Amino acid sequence: MRATTAPPAAVLASATAGIAIAGAAYASLYERTRWTLRRFEVPVLAPGSAPLRVLHLSDLHMTAGQRSKQEWVASLAALEPDLVVDTGDNLAGHDAVPGTLRALEPLLDRPGVFVLASNDYHAPRPKNPLKYFRPDHVRVHGDELPWRELRDGLTARGWLDLTNARGELVVAGRRIVFAGVDDSHLGRDRYDDVAGRADPAADLRIGLAHSPEPRVLDRFAADGHDLLLCGHTHGGQLRVPFYGALVTNCGIDRARARWLHRWAEPSVDHPHGTWLHVSAGLGTSPYAPARFACPPEATLLTLTARRG
């Protein structure tokens, strides 16, 4: 009896399907809950200054039942950050506020600031993921979420709401001035409300925006902010090894879809330039529960003294 073999095309198709299934299983069942702490040093303080530790959280996209995420976020209090910064998209369900506040509870004893974003205001909806490759796609929002309850829970513990607002805190003996905007991806930002030269007498100037839209980042930099903190991109969420993010879902370039980068080089008007940190975030939409080559992250930024 003569042996038969499958045609090469059939073998290739079968192998490709197997790899795709394995990759999808890895992305949805393992990596999306591989909670990761990222660390960077940022030289933004005056020479001779002691370091400051800033915990940057973003894009929790919390649902009520995500106990593992809630416990991991709460455990970050053991890092003893000097300041906590939350750049929005905390909620992913109408019943998510109690779980979100429970996750943040140990951190609320620390000085903190935040801005809100689209997924704090509106519930997620099923979407065709291919729409993110079209910058002109029509956005359809879900029902309103209890964002006021979230906001009030944070401000009641002393965190500053910087959503289209300015503020300042004394943190570990240093005076930090802040400016923040609402979700610029949705055009809710009102930069004119916070515009103007950031106080040069402060020890540090920080700008917050959920979405790293260049038109907003440029204004922060022009106003003399030392450090900009954003989220929104999920780091690309699905990244291709050796290529990176396929899409950023905003105006930022793919190379700066996550982590620490220079946004503005030193100049005459701003001799120390501006650093940008884009958090890869801790969550996903419930309708796209997968991450690949881009684990869910929080970031501990150690702010250090500049050289000269």
Q: What is the DSSP string of 126-185?
A: ---GGGGG-TTPPP---SBP-HHHHHHHHHTTT-EE-TTEEEEEEETTEEEEEEEES-GG
pTM of the predicted model as reported, rounded to 2 decimal places: 0.90
Average pLDDT over the chain reads 90
* Residue 279 pLDDT > 90: yes
Q: Residues with Cβ < 8 Å from 210, sequence gap 6 or more?
A: 58, 87, 88, 89, 115, 116, 117, 118, 182, 183, 184, 185, 230, 231, 232
Q: Torsion angle, CA of 293/297/303/307, rounded to 10 degrees?
A: 0
pLDDT band at 141 (very low <50, low <70, confident <90, very high): confident
How do residues 179-190 score in pLDDT, each as one tens digit?
999 999 889 999
How do residues 177-228 score in pLDDT, each as one tens digit?
999 999 998 899 999 999 999 999 999 999 999 999 999 999 999 999 999 9
Q: Which residue has the higher pLDDT, 21 or 39?
A: 39
Burial class (CB in 10 A: 0-12, 13-18, 19+), 252: buried
Q: Residues with Cβ < 8 Å from 34, sequence gap 6 or more?
A: 295, 296
Q: Residues with Cβ < 8 Å from 151, sequence gap 6 or more?
A: 116, 161
pLDDT band at 18 (very low <50, low <70, confident <90, very high): very low
**Structural element, H or E, at residue 75:** helix 67-75
